[in-house]
Amino acid sequence: MQTGALAGIRVVDLTRVLGGPYCTQWLGDHGAEIVKVEPPQGDETRLWGPPFREGASSYYHGINRNKRALALDLGQPRGREVLLRLLEGADVLIENFKVGTLERWGLGYEQSLKERFPRLVHCRITGFGEHGPWGGLPGYDAVLQAMAGLMSVNGDEGTGPMRLGIPIVDLATGLAAALGILMALLERERSGRGQFVDITLFDVAVALLHPHAANWFLTGQNPRLIGNAHPNLYPYDKFRTRTGEIFLACGNDRQWRRLCEHLGRPELARDERFRTMADRNRHRELLRRELAELLADRDGEALCTQLLALGIPAGPVYDLARVLTHPHTRAREMVVELDGYRGTGVPIKLRRTPGRAVRKPPRFGEHSREILREVGYGEEEIEALIQDGVVLERPRTAD
C-alpha cells in the first residue's frame, strides 16, 4: 500500500536517463505509484558505471527508487497495446522520446490520447521542444549548459567557461516536470480534464540564468567570469583559512558590519570604499585582499560556527564524505537506507503525510508479470508476450 500526499496517483513513466526518472522518483517518494516502462535494452543509465550493485550502476540507483519496472517493446503493435492498457488506469504519462516518436506510433496526445483518455496528464520532456530553429533536436545536459549560457557564467578568467559539476539542467528539468504535473493535476480537480505539459531542457536552462539574465536586461553587458564570487554582492566568495576553505556570503550592510566587528576590524565597515554594497562591489579586489589576510590564520570551521550564530552566512567547504556523514544530514534524514540500498533522503518534509523510501530501485523487468496481471492479462497471455519479445525479463543486447 502506498502512503503519502500523492497516494492514489498512478504514473506511467516512459522516461530514461536523468530528468524524467528524477521527476518520477520525487513523485514516488510522496506516494505516487510509478510504473517504469523500459525499452528492450533497458534504461542506459543501468550501464553508467562503475560502481555497480545488483547489476546496475550507482547512477541508476540514485534516481529510480519507489518504482516498479516493466520492460516493453513499444516498437511492436502488441507492445503499444500493453501501454494503452496501462494508461486506462493512469493519471499521468511522462516520456522523453524525441519529438514525433509517439505520433509515428499513433500515440500522440492531440492525435489520440487526449480523446481516449480525457483526464490524462501527458508530460513530455525534450531538449528544445517542437518549434523554433532548434525544435526537435536532441538535448543533453552539458550541451544545454553550453548553449543556454550557463557555462558562460561559470569559471574564472583562468579556466574559461566551465560546465557545472552536477547535471543541473537535467535535475532542474526533472523538478520543473514534477511541478508542471502537479499543477495540471490540481487544475484537473476544477476542470475534470487532463492536459499536455511541455517541458524542455532549454527553457529550464534559460530560466536558471538568474541574476545574470536580469543584469543583462538592464545593462546589455555580458558578465565577466569571476569564479566563486557573486556578480552583485560582496563579500560573497570563497576564502582560505588555516584549517581549510570557507565561503562568506554577506547579503546586506548589517551583516558586513557584524563581520568586520567579529574579525576585529570595525573600521573596514566605515571605510568609504566598503561602506555600502555598491562600494564593496566597485572595490571588490581590494576588499578581497583585506579579507584574505584577516582569515588566513583562523580556524575556518570554528569561525563559521561563530559567524552563523551572529547571523552572518558562512560555511566550511565540505567534501561529499563529510556532508553525507555529517550529524545534521542524519538529523534531517537526508540519507535513507533500505535493505542494502542507500541514497539521499526526501527533501520535501510534509508533517502529516511524509514522503519515504519504500522500494529499492527495481531490477530490469522485475515487476513485469505483476503489472500485467493487474491490468487484466492472464497467465497464458503474459507467457505469449514474453515468448514473442514484446515483454522482456532480460535486457535485449544491441545488434
For 354-376, the pLDDT digits (tens) are 999 999 999 999 999 999 999 99
Residues 6+ apart with CB under 8 A from 305: none
Please tell me the distance from the alpha carbon of residue 38 to that of residue 105, in angstroms, as a whole number. Answer: 17
In the numeric block, which cell numbers belong to residue 119? 483526464
How do beta strands 391-392 and 121-126 pair? unpaired
The pLDDT of residue 397 is 83
pLDDT mean over 185-210: 98
All CATH 3.40.50.10540 domain ranges in the chain, comma separated? 10-208+333-392
Please tell me the distance from the alpha carbon of residue 139 to that of residue 142, in angstroms, as a whole number. Answer: 9
All CATH 3.30.1540.10 domain ranges in the chain, comma separated? 236-324
For 232-270, the pLDDT digits (tens) are 999 999 999 999 999 999 999 999 999 999 999 999 999
In the numeric block, which cell numbers belong to residue 44? 542506459
Q: Catalogue the active-site residues.
A: 170
Classify domain 236-324 by CATH architecture: 2-Layer Sandwich (3.30)
For 385, phi and psi rounded to 5 degrees? -65, -40
Residue closest to 84 by CA, chosen among 66, 64, 102: 102
Please tell me the distance from the alpha carbon of residue 79 to that of residue 110, in angstroms, as a whole number. Answer: 21
Inter-axis angle of helices 300-309 and 253-262, to 10 degrees?
Answer: 130
In the numeric block, which cell numbers belong to residue 144? 544545454
Does the pTM surpass 0.85? The reply is: yes
User: What is the pLDDT of the chain when averaged over all its residues?
Assistant: 95
- Which residue bears the cell 536580469? 214
CATH tag for 10-208+333-392 (out of 3.40.50.300, 3.40.50.10540, 3.90.1150.10, 3.40.50.620): 3.40.50.10540
User: Residue 249: enclosing H or E segment and its boundaries?
Assistant: strand 244-249
Please tell me the distance from the alpha carbon of residue 280 to that of residue 293, in angstroms, as a whole number. Answer: 17
Instruction: Please report, as a single letter, which amino acid is at residue 397.
Output: T
For 154-174, the pLDDT digits (tens) are 999 999 999 999 999 999 999
The pLDDT of residue 399 is 57
Within a 13 Å sphere around the CA of 181, how many CA atoms are in the beta-carbon half?
29
SS3 391: strand
Contact by Cβ (8 Å): 118, 193 = yes
Please tell me the distance from the alpha carbon of residue 394 to that of residue 41, in angstroms, as a whole number. Answer: 8
Please tell me the distance from the alpha carbon of residue 376 to that of residue 14, in angstroms, as a whole number. Answer: 20
Please tell me the distance from the alpha carbon of residue 384 to that of residue 263, in angstroms, as a whole number. Answer: 75
pLDDT above 90 for 54: no
For 68, phi and psi rounded to 5 degrees? -110, 150
The pLDDT of residue 1 is 47
Q: Is the peptide bond before 138 cis (omega within 30 degrees of 0)?
A: no
* Residues 100, 106, 110, 116, CA torsion sign: negative
pLDDT above 80 for 398: no
Residue 163 CA to its chain's centroid (Å)? 16
